Structure 1
């Protein structure tokens, strides 16, 4: 498959990166980390006004009228910025839950055995009865576990893959930046072959996942979506681990952002459609 992003798609991605850089930069990220479990409703409404949640709604219904490829692009940017909140659930509820499209209603969803941001939600998709709070490894993603696992939504699986792709791209950038700046023995650590190999592996995994995720957004084929999710989960989790390796001991400190990317990637990988379940979905899709 050969395809290129259109000028409008490139502009959409650049505009979303600019918006998130302005509304959820590093200071806002660290402030959110210091106040875990609190969702910024003003930011949520800003996203609604920008059309983040109504992106795929028809223009006749007050939406932006775009498609799945464009949604993947904006969710990739959200993942890159570590934007908190039940983004996928609210986006998918834009057509059915009043206020979700405008960012006035926060929507959570039962995703496999987990529910993210249940206490902050004004509406819940799926049966969350009997939900039990969990201690989340990610300070920006409060979790509940539900007794019965719900079936995965293919679009939710793909948008999660897009978020993971955003993390994979960002940790690759962070690793390369640190390798250029950090010096050992009077030389940048990026001049050492072992560090170069880590950075090269980061890039290969991220770009392989990018091709798979973008292709799945075009075809919407279940097998393509399952494969894209597996590749994106690996690119995000292993990429964040390798980025920590490049940073050395300082990457594990609370002041650094690298560990936040790893923790978010771990949590996303537990959503429906990831890891073992993703492999089973891929096998079932290929068997049909």
Structure 2
């Protein structure tokens, strides 16, 4: 099986990355606000709202959502006759990998899956939330809440930029949602690795870059290995669409994102925890995503059942 991207796939990946980069640099608020503190235009998390002392008051950036709709992010897999791009799951995985790399907030997976079913979702005019396992993301900001999220109650989120609700009974897991989550985790893991290497090359201690120390070298090398192993698994699962392959990709991507986030924090030291840095947000978002769709336990059980069979 070949894992090299086609020219068209590489162009799609670059287009999504460029679009998100332009959105961050032309006046949109990539806001982070500490509890009880002032907002900073630094984080790659696009929000639009006010910060109240002692808490967060955040709103989804509707301009960003419409821009994603115009880019075709939500309608990638719709047929051309239905107004989509007529692409396949591998191309959607590339787009979601870039969204995870940029820490784009909002119910991306739910809105993508609703395209063609919920009017306006494909164009980014409607924000859709849905139960994913036991959680619902951005429920209060959604224009449409899909069936299964009834009775959800607010849940304190470890990630201050991802509002959560908990549903009383777990919703059915969609394998496509699991794979797209894995793609987001892959993007976040890749970004964490990039930041760690960049910091290791520039931060100096005892007269030399910290990347010259063996312990830091090992952390960065292990991060890269986990990212590339997860990338191969995610891309392969997008091609085969086999449930066992998707479960494998999910587990590897979760590990790459969560362990990569922790290791990136280790490389950065105390500054990685500050609101001027995006490093801690990478880890917090990875923790939240790891709870989607039943979490890793469901994927482990699926793989175990597959092996027994």
Partner of 1:278: 299
CA shift, 1:129, in A, is 1.9
Q: Deviations over 1:81-129 (max 9, x none)?
A: 0000000000000010000000001000101110001011111223222
What pairs with 1:90-101 in structure 2 (closer than 5 Å)? 90-101=111-122
CA shift, 1:2, in A, is 2.7
The 1:234–1:188 alpha-carbon spacing in structure 2 relative to 1, beyond 3 Å, is same
Question: What number of residue pairs does the alignment pair up?
Answer: 288
Partner of 1:222: 243
CA shift, 1:277, in A, is 1.6
- 1:70 aligned to which of 83, 86, 91: 91
**Aligned Cα root-mean-square deviation (Å):** 1.4
CA shift, 1:3, in A, is 3.1
1:200 counterpart = 2:200: no
Runs of 5+ in structure 2 lacking a partner? 33-40
- 2:282 aligned to which of 257, 261, 272: 261
Partner of 1:47: 68
Partner of 1:81: 102
CA shift, 1:285, in A, is 3.6
SS in 1 for 2:129: strand
CA contact (8 A) 2:3 2:232 kept: no
Distance 1:134 1:251 in 2: 26
CA contact (8 A) 1:55 1:63 kept: yes
Partner of 2:10: 10
Distance 1:29 1:287 in 2: 48
Runs of 5+ in structure 1 lacking a partner? none
SS in 2 for 1:4: coil
Distance 1:176 1:193 in 2: 13
CA shift, 1:273, in A, is 4.4
Distance 2:31 2:303 in 1: 35
Q: Deviations over 1:200-234 (max 9, x none)?
A: 00000000000000000000000000000000000
CA shift, 1:173, in A, is 0.1
